[in-house]
Amino acid sequence: MYHKSLVPFFKLPFLRASKERDRRLIYNLVGTGSCLFAAGSFNLEPAAGGSKNRGKSVIRVWAAFIQRLSSSTFLLTACLLLIVDAALAQIKPLRLFNNTGLTTINQNFLVSKLPEILSSSENPEVLLLGSSLVLFPAVRCDDQLHGVKTRFDRWYVRNHISEYARADALQHLLAGSGHPVSVRNLAIASSVVSDQYLILKKYLSTGKKPHLVVLCLAPRDFLDNQRARVEKTPTYCAIADFTSVSDLIESKASFDTIAEHLIGSSWQYYREKSDYHNLFSCAAGLLSKHPINLYDASQHVLRPAMVSAATGSRKQPPQQEQAFVDSGVLDQQKPLWEPPSNTCNDLDNYKKMYWPVNLPLLSLQAEYLKKFCGILQAENIPLLLVTMPLTKENLALLPDSALKKYDSNIRTLATEYGATLIQPSKSGSFELSDFEDSCHMNAAGGNKLFKLIAETICCDRQLAKSLANKQQLAAGGRQSRN
C-alpha cells in the first residue's frame, strides 16, 4: 500500500503500538504524507497540445488527495476539534450560565479582555488605564464617532462596554493634532489602583513597551470597601498568575509546564477544561438530584442551578440566603435605545463602596500608585495622570478630609515622579447633563474629557516628544525598507 522506503519507518521501537487503533492512526498519518509526496512527484507536464489532459490530471490528483484526507480519522477528528474550539472561543458558552463557581475567571465579563490583550502581539503607543469611569465615555464617544446608535440597557453595559478595549475618539483627536498613534483601552470596570499596578506590571513583563501611559483616577479607586482585599479582586484573580513562555523559561520551569502553557494558549477547551468538567458535573447532579461529590453529600447540599433561558428560574440550596443574581448574557435582550433620565440611581451603591470611609485603605492604594509611577520611571515611559470629574451628588458622599488626602496623594506622587497631572474634576466645565448617573459620563462629557487629554498631550513637551520619537522611528524604518 505504501512505498517500500516507508517500511523501515514502521519498525521503529516507538511505533510499536500496543493497540490496533494506534497502528491505524499511524498508518493514516503516513498514508496522508505518502499522498502528498505522490501529488508533488507526479509529472503533470502534458504532451504538445495536451492542456486539456493536463487539467484532467490535476483534477484526478486533487480528487485522490481529498479522498485520502476524508478517509483519515485523525484529520477529520482534528478538523472537528478545531471547529468546536473556534465555536467555544467565539460563543463562550460558560457565560450563558449563571452558576457561582462555574464561570471561569477568563470569561468573567469584567476582566475577560485582559488575558487576550496580554497575550497579543500588538504593541500600541498609548495605554489608557482606569475603571468604568473611562470605559463608559470611551464607548459613547466611539459610537458617536462611527455613527453607531448606542444602547443603554444592562446587556450592552455588561457585554460590550465592560469588554471594550478601544479609544478611537481619543486616537482620532491625537491624529488630528499631528500624532497618528494607536491607543489601547485597558480600563477595567470595578478596578482599583492596585489592579492598575498589576495590569501595568504584567503588560510590561510581556516585552511590550508603550510610549505613553494615561491613568484615569477617582476617589473610588482608593476607597472601595467592597474590594479592600487586594488579592481578591477580579483583576488580581484573572492575571496574577498570568505568565508568558519567556517567564517560564527564565524560571526554569519543567517541560511539562511549558508544554501545558503552550497547548492552553492555543486550545480554548484545553485551557478551560476544568470549568467545563465542573459545569457538566453540576448539571448532571441537578438533573439527577444527587450531590456531585462526597463533600456535598455529607453536607446534604445540591449546587445552585443554572439560570433557565426560558423562565429565568433558579434553584437555591436549602436554607441558603437569597442574594442578588446576575442572570448573565441572557438578561435584558431587548435593546434600550433612549437614555433614561439621570437620577443618580447609583448613589446607593457608592454608599456601600465609600462608607465607612477607610483612610488606611486609601493609604494602601496610594502606595500602589507610587509603585505604578516607579515602574514607569524605571522604564522611562511618560505618565499622564487624570483625575476624573464626578457629579456633586457623588462627591457629597465623602468628607472633605478624605477628598483632601486623595488629592494630596496624587499631587505629591505626580511631582515626585515627574508625571503630568490634569484635573478635569476641578475645571468646573462638567455638569450633570454630561453624566448618565453620578459618575459615568455620556458622549457629551466624554468628548470634553478626551479633548482635554489630547490637548494636554500635544501641548506638553515631554508627552508630545515621546510620541514624536515614535513617528521618527517609524519613518526611519520605512526609509530603510525602501
**Percentage helix, strand, coil for the chain under 3-state DSSP, each rounded to 5:** 60, 5, 35
Q: Is residue 301 part of a domain?
A: no
Is 305 within a domain?
no
Q: Tell me, yes or no, whether 474 and 377 share the same domain.
A: yes
pLDDT tens track for 318-345: 433 333 334 444 454 688 999 999 999 9
pLDDT in tens, 17-40: 444 544 554 455 445 454 444 444
Determine the pLDDT at residue 13: 44
In this structure, the answer to whether residues 199 and 131 fall within a common structural domain is: yes
What's the CA gap between 56 and 71, in Å, rounded?
22
- Average pLDDT of the residues in 172-186: 91
Instruction: Give the pLDDT confidence score for residue 482 in this predicted structure.
Output: 43
Distance CA 187, CA 223 (A): 18
Structure confidence at residue 107 (pLDDT): 61
458 and 380 fall within a common domain: yes
Q: Tell whether the model's pLDDT for residue 381 goes beyond 90.
A: yes
Contact 219, 402 (CB under 8 A): yes
Domain boundary among 91, 121, 138: 91
Angle at CA of residue 161, ends 354 and 307, nearest 5°: 85
Least confident of 15-24, 68-77, 255-264, 280-289: 15-24
Q: Does the pLDDT at position 155 exceed 80? A: yes
Collapsing DSSP states into helix, strand and coil, what is residue 100?
Answer: coil
Position 257 in a domain: no
Give yes or no: residues 385 and 441 share one domain. Answer: yes
Whether pTM exceeds 0.75 = no
Do residue 131 and residue 79 come from a single domain?
no
For every residue of 56-94, DSSP letters joined together read HHHHHHHHHHHHHHHT-HHHHHHHHHHHHHHHHHHH-GG
Backbone angles phi, psi at 208, to 5 degrees: -85, 150
**Does 153 score more than 80 pLDDT?**
yes
Determine, yes or no, domain membership for 103.
Answer: no
Domain endpoint, select from 91, 123, 151: 91
Provide the CATH number for the domain around residue 135.
Answer: 3.40.50.1110
Q: 179 and 73 in one domain?
A: no
Judge if 473 and 404 occupy the same domain.
Answer: yes
The reported pLDDT for the residue numbered 172 is: 96
* pLDDT on residue 325: 38
The DSSP output letter for 289 is T
N-terminal to C-terminal alpha carbon distance within the chain:
53
Least confident of 14-23, 279-288, 438-447: 14-23
Tell me: pLDDT of 379 over 60.
yes
In this structure, the answer to whether residues 33 and 134 fall within a common structural domain is no
Query: Are 203 and 344 within one domain?
Result: yes
Mean of per-residue pLDDT scores for the chain: 79
Arithmetic mean of pLDDT, 341-354: 95
The confidence band for 282, taking pLDDT boundaries of 50, 70 and 90, is confident
**189 within 8 A of 110, measured Cβ to Cβ:** yes
- Are both 40 and 118 inside the same structural domain? no
φ/ψ of 215, rounded to 5, equals -115, 120
72 with 138, same domain: the answer is no
How does 193-224 read in b/e, with b if 16+ C-beta sit within 10 Å?
A: bbbbbbbbebbbebebebbbbbbbbbbbbbbb
- For residue 326, the model assigns a pLDDT of 42
Is 294 among the domain residues?
no
77 in the same domain as 163: no
Question: pLDDT category, 290, cuts 50, 70, 90?
Answer: confident
How far is 349 from 357, CA to CA, in rounded Å? Answer: 14
Ranked by mean pLDDT, the top range of 44-48, 54-58, 80-84, 402-406 is 402-406
The pLDDT of residue 54:
67
pLDDT confidence bin for 6, thresholds 50/70/90 = very low
Q: What number is the average pLDDT over the span 184-210?
A: 95
Q: Is the peptide bond before 356 cis (omega within 30 degrees of 0)?
A: yes
Residue 76 maps to a domain: yes
Q: What is the pLDDT of residue 262?
A: 78
Residue 317: is its pLDDT beyond 60? Answer: no
At 214-264, the pLDDT tens digits run 999 999 999 999 999 998 888 887 787 666 666 567 656 678 777 877 777
User: Based on the structure, what is the number of domains in the chain?
Assistant: 2
- Residue 76 contacts residue 91 (beta carbons within 8 Å): no
Q: Which three cell numbers stand for residue 173?
A: 483627536
In the block, which residue shows the cell 450592552? 156
Q: Is the pLDDT of residue 315 over 60?
A: no
Examine residue 283 and state whether it is found in any structural domain, yes or no. no
Do 147 and 176 meet the contact criterion of CB atoms below 8 Å apart?
no
Give the total residue count for the chain. 482
Helices (H), 100-182: 113-119, 132-145, 154-156, 168-176
Q: Is residue 476 part of a domain?
A: yes
Residue ending a domain, choose from 91, 124, 139 = 91
Helix residue spans in 146-219 (DSSP H): 154-156, 168-176, 193-205
Under 8 Å between Cβ of 146 and 159? no
Do residues 357 and 395 touch, judged by C-beta distance below 8 A?
A: no
Give the best-scoring range by mean pLDDT among 14-23, 293-302, 360-369, 423-432: 360-369
Higher pLDDT, 264 or 451: 451
Domain range for 182: 111-229+340-481
Residues above pLDDT 90, as percent of the chain? 45
Alpha-carbon dihedral sign for residues 226, 231, 232, 236: positive
Exposure string for 431-454, b = 16+ CB within 10 A, e = fewer: eeebbbbbbbbbbbbbbbbbebbb
